[in-house]
Structure 1
């Protein structure tokens, strides 16, 4: 076959490919394209149509055009408004682009005809190929019935393979790039392969599209159905006057969107809101659920406040609010230092143990102020129901969250400072053990997911700074005590009380009673006398009451007697407070037999006990009076056993104890006394009474005794030393094992007293006997 090269006008098509045998109309607007069509019309009405590789290009070069195009016959030309020409063409022959002349007023191309090349295909192969194409066309028609009406029906009746392939390529709505690929096929078998491939591809796309459309339709139908049902339900509720539940549920959903919580918590709350939405508004269950939803939405699940990590600021606040209490201040500042270095730090669980009125509760408030934390207080005194801590199941009538969860809700943040007041006074009964419930709260490993029975959602307490207070650590259950860091808040000395009164208590009471420093003033001597003779306590609570009493009486004088100023002195103090309330039993003036001064710890501080022993004829009995507890009675028996075992060393015969009775008495019989620290005092008094040797009146002692005469350590040493100082004792005997405790006591307390450490009763006797 002879190839022919032809030069003719050319038009570059955008997004369109013309195949041989295809009739197509299109619009042209580019100047060069219009000129090319007009030139063709003036000649043989033939034009070369070639497709641009990139439709967006305005002036394509040879490299921007496909190499295979179509020689086409212009059938019709219509001029449209706006300088646009609509052309109808019929593709005639495939032709390859050889050269493109771009310099003239229109594009001119040198092309070479490229007819399909002959192949040796048998009739059987052609029939098979025809059937396969028709099968795919039928499958497509079944999947897309509209296509059958459009063109597939006319294709299925064609019997000639070449005509079938040509018409299928022309009629099927392929993309221009696909049609270009078909135009470039040199053999009928190649064109067959492309057509079958793209038919199968179209079928697969159609099936995927149908699946997606089905799913979308199903989803839309369900949403439409739900919407209609909701609208109907809304109308029904409006008719019944019961549409508040839906409005509330929508409001809860809005709150849930704004809630700062993890995904699991939000999902749980969302389910409860959806349940509530479907309930009749007036039902009891709906009311229970409404309360529950409102509660969980108020909880600060992930909302936290930013701590003030300025250690200097914290130190200033603590010094400003409290006088003394160095241990507590140091521990708080250590916590802050660790938090500042690690940027996280596990919140410690501090337990402040000390007598009433020593400022344990106010310390917690100051720590919260120093750290910039929210402050909440939970009073545990007398709680005996475990549900007070863990909450009640929400199915019960009147159910509510536990005190821990409720305190978190009040604080509004997940990292407040929580004060557990009077933790030593919780109790247990048939409703559960409160201290056991507190174990989970105060365990750093467990409280990350604290379970409140009412909330039913784990509550993270790891960010909470817990501070507990107690008067007596011995009554706190051991497992609970083990989870806390105990800090002793000991009794105040008279000097500390004096400074506290001057710096804090007097200004506070003046403000509370509407007075100023110019109106009412206290002399230092008067203040010292109030502390020494009108109060007897470890803390400063009663001292504050006495100052308040003076303020009230002074306020009355200002109004009744029109006084301008009142000055409280040692001389006029009795006028405002009456006669002295407290008298201290000073050291005895003379050394006596059988009378020894012991030291005791009480809940309101230290005290001295004068233990007396008398010997009388009898048959070896030991009589004890003075409201002594079981521990003290056992100490007395041990002391007597020790005295009998060493009596022969002091010239006392064994039959002496069979012929004499001993009577041990502790004055103030109406006051109960108990404790393990009076052993050496009782043994010294008994030995003095039995041997007739006098005991030094200015000696006080404390310590427990064993059967062999060893002296055991005791507690409350600071309070006891204070009591000895108040009684003007000159020498204090202390167990040798308490030497480290004595090192922590300030020189202000021990000044003027001789502290003697004793290991055995021999040391005690040597120091105590005259």
Structure 2
């Protein structure tokens, strides 16, 4: 409560606050402060102390100091050698500035003095007990205040004084101390200090817990450090240089460098930690090390930049391969879309065709044209699912599957990946590898491909997969559905000639060390080699024959017999021996009962002579020449059709009761089958029964129905080339095959007349000559 008003000198304090009843030493150096002290010493030794709001101010004004301060008595003053004055002051009462005076030499103020009431209420006593109890607990926890201090404090009976003494021992901020000083009501002051001590206790509790945790952590770290240093020393003594420590450092650096996804990196670091703790002599140590090596060597983010220059890609593909237009076009389409979208998932192409047509080398050219790395794995004979998905690490000798091995070999996440001989996979009790390939070749799934060894998912979505197969029929349906099938039927004779001239001969001459001036193989010789020494859809045998010529030429040149060798049609036999094959030739004259059919084989097209002979009998139908079930059924259908047309064709209606019919296809040792001999069989049969000859320069292909309709066939390109090679000038084909004529080389189209038919009657008009005998 306010008791009196007095005018006293004023001394501003920096970062310091004096409570009533406190005795404190102060060092005073500012001129105005020294003058205020001297004035106090001349008078009644009273001085008003208040705290500056901003400690950095050298000359504060009225607004820079708190209005509430402490009226104190100067007990002692001592001048120090450095010019400052040390004083001993004792706090008396709270006081508040009413008027502030600044007379340039010193500060003074009229202050209103407040004295605490000495009355002791029951509530005061309760608050005092609580405060002392909390203060005692605080002292025990902080250990910064001596027990003697508490003993002195406990003897204080005045509640206001007790509050001020306790507050002076608490580590409070200046603002908080000022709040307590400005709290004139004793009960309120006691409550506030109790709350502050309670908070301080909680803070001390937290500090203690944190301290214990830090101490434990430090002890563990120190222990690990000590043990590591011991391990290093032991390894050094054993001659193991740095032991695992140096290796761990190298592996850690590699893990950080390879750009793994975060979850893979976590797995790698976890395994590295295990590897560090497992003894080197343990079998598990090498297993973990191999696993970490695999994670490090796999490409996780490294990629080659696609060269999306379509003109350049087309140039590379045309340089390396003659023909194969559809495949090249598909690759260029992919590059064009990639250039527009920059995000197309890798397509999965499947090149299907006979051996030797260049499926593997085409895939390599695609990689070159796109500026991608190329990797090839052979699936021929794979019958174990773990070959694709890998083995689990629990097995001895476990390793990743071929897909992950291939990615490691590629070194980038976007290679051209060739799956060679995908149709040669089989299955047994160890699983079905073709089922495992379903995930690899599904663009919707392969961004999370799972290998049993790696365990973590691997992204295959940026890979361009190219599969090769000889036979589409042996690839399971679900797997076939995931791939874009591109058929490569084989090369025509003209294409083989260009390939031999532009690629094979040049390569073989380089391989055998021959110069262009030392060997010349003429075109007529190349055609002879293609026709009489090879029978294939591809060019492997052709390359072997050219290699044979190069070897013999090398021998001639090295022995000094000649300096230059020229191979022509006349001397091919001298180098390659007698001809191995022959091909069908057109008849020299029109024949009765002999029709020229066109056949498609795995090595290209060929002509097929179908002969029909009649003999007295009881209508027996004999089929010879190693015919398959389909051709036998075609013969039966042709026979039935002829019986329905006897009147129109001028044939005896009872011929099947008086004559035996023998249908023969020469070269009986060679199996023949296929759904395209129907009209040829019918024409040969009608020719034999009517006695009308068949044009010798007419070939035909097409299946027949009992009503005489002609059904479409396949392999028209190869069959047309065979007809052209055999000297035929006209070929009869089903009307529905008109669209396939565009696939035939222009040079062949010019020399062949294509007759489109939809019924056998039209076939007979063009095939038969002469009148019925």
Give TM-score, length-normalised by structure 1: 0.90
After TM superposition, list the pairs within 5 Å mapping 1:63-142 onto structure 2: 63-74=63-74, 75-77=76-78, 79=80, 88-97=88-97, 104=104, 108-116=106-114, 123-142=121-140
After TM superposition, list the pairs within 5 Å mapping 1:408-427 onto structure 2: 408-427=407-426
Instruction: Give the whole-Å Cα distance in 1 for the aligned partners of 2:538 and 2:31.
Output: 105
Q: Check whether the contact 1:11–1:47 (CA below 8 A) recurs between aligned residues.
A: no
Report SS of the residue matched to 2:645.
Answer: helix
* Aligned twin of 1:167: 165
* Aligned twin of 1:192: 190
Measure how far apart 1:483 and its partner are: 0.9
Instruction: Give the whole-Å Cα distance in 2 for the aligned partners of 1:321 and 1:688.
Output: 49
Instruction: Give the whole-Å Cα distance in 1 for the aligned partners of 2:311 and 2:40.
Output: 95
Measure how far apart 1:308 and its partner are: 2.5
* Aligned twin of 1:504: 503
Instruction: Give the whole-Å Cα distance in 2 for the aligned partners of 1:103 and 1:557.
Output: 129
Cα separation, partners in 2 of 1:33 and 1:256, compared to 1, 3 Å: farther
Give the stretch that moved more between structures: 547-556 or 568-577.
Answer: 568-577
Measure how far apart 1:377 and its partner are: 0.4
Instruction: Give the whole-Å Cα distance in 2 for the aligned partners of 1:226 and 1:546.
Output: 73
Report SS of the residue matched to 1:132.
Answer: helix
* Aligned twin of 1:371: 370
Instruction: Give the whole-Å Cα distance in 1 for the aligned partners of 2:86 and 2:672.
Output: 120
Measure how far apart 1:204 and its partner are: 2.1
Q: Check whether the contact 2:9–2:107 (CA below 8 A) recurs between aligned residues.
A: yes
Measure how far apart 1:167 and its partner are: 0.8
1:223-245 Cα deviation digits (max 9, x unpaired): 45566676778888899999966
Give the stretch that moved more between structures: 66-75 or 483-492.
Answer: 66-75
Measure how far apart 1:255 and its partner are: 3.5
Measure how far apart 1:24 and its partner are: 3.3
Give the stretch that moved more between structures: 245-254 or 605-614.
Answer: 245-254
Q: Check whether the contact 2:374–2:417 (CA below 8 A) recurs between aligned residues.
A: yes
Report SS of the residue matched to 2:450.
Answer: coil
Measure how far apart 1:468 and its partner are: 0.9
Cα separation, partners in 2 of 1:456 and 1:595, compared to 1, 3 Å: same
Q: Check whether the contact 1:94–1:113 (CA below 8 A) recurs between aligned residues.
A: no
Instruction: Give the whole-Å Cα distance in 2 for the aligned partners of 1:563 and 1:36.
Output: 129
Give the stretch that moved more between structures: 360-369 or 43-52.
Answer: 43-52
Report SS of the residue matched to 2:80.
Answer: strand
Q: Does 1:446 align with 2:445?
A: yes
After TM superposition, list the pairs within 5 Å mapping 1:347-746 onto structure 2: 347-561=346-560, 564-746=563-745
Measure how far apart 1:345 and its partner are: 0.9
1:380-434 Cα deviation digits (max 9, x unpaired): 2232222222222333333322111110111122221100112222223333333
Measure how far apart 1:532 and its partner are: 4.4
Instruction: Give the whole-Å Cα distance in 2 for the aligned partners of 1:46 and 1:119.
Output: 22
* Aligned twin of 1:766: 765
Instruction: Give the whole-Å Cα distance in 2 for the aligned partners of 1:37 and 1:527.
Output: 125
Give the stretch that moved more between structures: 257-266 or 397-406.
Answer: 257-266
Gap regions ≥5 residues in structure 1: none
Cα separation, partners in 2 of 1:376 and 1:37, compared to 1, 3 Å: farther
Give the stretch that moved more between structures: 171-180 or 26-35.
Answer: 26-35
Give the stretch that moved more between structures: 648-657 or 167-176.
Answer: 648-657
Report SS of the residue matched to 1:751.
Answer: helix
1:340-399 Cα deviation digits (max 9, x unpaired): 222211111011122322222112111111222111001122322222222223333333
Report SS of the residue matched to 1:694.
Answer: coil
Give the stretch that moved more between structures: 616-625 or 378-387.
Answer: 616-625
Instruction: Give the whole-Å Cα distance in 2 for the aligned partners of 1:347 and 1:189.
Output: 81
* Aligned twin of 1:151: 149
Cα separation, partners in 2 of 1:73 and 1:402, compared to 1, 3 Å: same
Instruction: Give the whole-Å Cα distance in 2 for the aligned partners of 1:59 and 1:528.
Output: 114
Give the stretch that moved more between structures: 660-669 or 520-529.
Answer: 520-529
Cα separation, partners in 2 of 1:496 and 1:25, compared to 1, 3 Å: farther
Instruction: Give the whole-Å Cα distance in 1 for the aligned partners of 2:144 and 2:472.
Output: 90
Instruction: Give the whole-Å Cα distance in 1 for the aligned partners of 2:513 and 2:96.
Output: 110
Say which of 173, 179, 182 aligns to 2:180: 182
Give the stretch that moved more between structures: 32-41 or 759-768.
Answer: 32-41
Gap regions ≥5 residues in structure 2: none
Give the stretch that moved more between structures: 642-651 or 41-50.
Answer: 41-50
Report SS of the residue matched to 1:4.
Answer: strand
Q: Check whether the contact 1:9–1:39 (CA below 8 A) recurs between aligned residues.
A: no
Measure how far apart 1:35 and its partner are: 6.9
Q: Check whether the contact 1:98–1:110 (CA below 8 A) recurs between aligned residues.
A: no
1:441-479 Cα deviation digits (max 9, x unpaired): 111122222222222222222111101112232332222
Give the stretch that moved more between structures: 365-374 or 21-30.
Answer: 21-30
Instruction: Give the whole-Å Cα distance in 2 for the aligned partners of 1:565 and 1:48.
Output: 126
Instruction: Give the whole-Å Cα distance in 1 for the aligned partners of 2:38 and 2:561.
Output: 122
**RMSD value over aligned CA atoms?**
3.3
Measure how far apart 1:206 and its partner are: 1.7
Instruction: Give the whole-Å Cα distance in 2 for the aligned partners of 1:37 and 1:555.
Output: 122
Cα separation, partners in 2 of 1:215 and 1:264, compared to 1, 3 Å: same
Q: Check whether the contact 2:32–2:107 (CA below 8 A) recurs between aligned residues.
A: no
Give the stretch that moved more between structures: 190-199 or 364-373.
Answer: 190-199
Report SS of the residue matched to 1:334.
Answer: helix
Report SS of the residue matched to 2:369.
Answer: helix
Measure how far apart 1:495 and its partner are: 3.3
Instruction: Give the whole-Å Cα distance in 2 for the aligned partners of 1:735 and 1:627.
Output: 26
Instruction: Give the whole-Å Cα distance in 2 for the aligned partners of 1:597 and 1:362.
Output: 37
* Aligned twin of 2:7: 6
Instruction: Give the whole-Å Cα distance in 2 for the aligned partners of 1:678 and 1:277.
Output: 74
Q: Does 1:20 align with 2:49?
A: no
Report SS of the residue matched to 1:365.
Answer: helix
Cα separation, partners in 2 of 1:384 and 1:610, compared to 1, 3 Å: farther
Measure how far apart 1:574 and its partner are: 4.4
Cα separation, partners in 2 of 1:675 and 1:70, compared to 1, 3 Å: same
* Aligned twin of 2:262: 263
Instruction: Give the whole-Å Cα distance in 1 for the aligned partners of 2:713 and 2:384.
Output: 35
Report SS of the residue matched to 2:457.
Answer: coil
Instruction: Give the whole-Å Cα distance in 2 for the aligned partners of 1:315 and 1:55.
Output: 81
Measure how far apart 1:696 and its partner are: 1.7
Instruction: Give the whole-Å Cα distance in 2 for the aligned partners of 1:12 and 1:41.
Output: 18
Q: Check whether the contact 1:151–1:171 (CA below 8 A) recurs between aligned residues.
A: no
* Aligned twin of 2:54: 54
Instruction: Give the whole-Å Cα distance in 2 for the aligned partners of 1:609 and 1:199.
Output: 112
* Aligned twin of 2:303: 304
Instruction: Give the whole-Å Cα distance in 2 for the aligned partners of 1:769 and 1:381.
Output: 50
1:160-215 Cα deviation digits (max 9, x unpaired): 21120121122222222211221222322332233122112212222222333333
Q: Check whether the contact 1:594–1:612 (CA below 8 A) recurs between aligned residues.
A: yes
* Aligned twin of 1:755: 754
Give TM-score, length-normalised by structure 2: 0.89
Cα separation, partners in 2 of 1:129 and 1:279, compared to 1, 3 Å: closer
Give the stretch that moved more between structures: 60-69 or 611-620.
Answer: 60-69
Instruction: Give the whole-Å Cα distance in 1 for the aligned partners of 2:84 and 2:761.
Output: 129
1:55-77 Cα deviation digits (max 9, x unpaired): 34555454443333334445354
Give the stretch that moved more between structures: 562-571 or 677-686.
Answer: 562-571
Cα separation, partners in 2 of 1:194 and 1:696, compared to 1, 3 Å: same
After TM superposition, list the pairs within 5 Å mapping 1:201-280 onto structure 2: 201-224=199-222, 251-280=250-279
Q: Check whether the contact 1:93–1:115 (CA below 8 A) recurs between aligned residues.
A: yes
Instruction: Give the whole-Å Cα distance in 2 for the aligned partners of 1:514 and 1:736.
Output: 53
Instruction: Give the whole-Å Cα distance in 2 for the aligned partners of 1:302 and 1:661.
Output: 76
Give the stretch that moved more between structures: 29-38 or 708-717.
Answer: 29-38
Instruction: Give the whole-Å Cα distance in 2 for the aligned partners of 1:619 and 1:394.
Output: 75
Report SS of the residue matched to 2:666.
Answer: coil
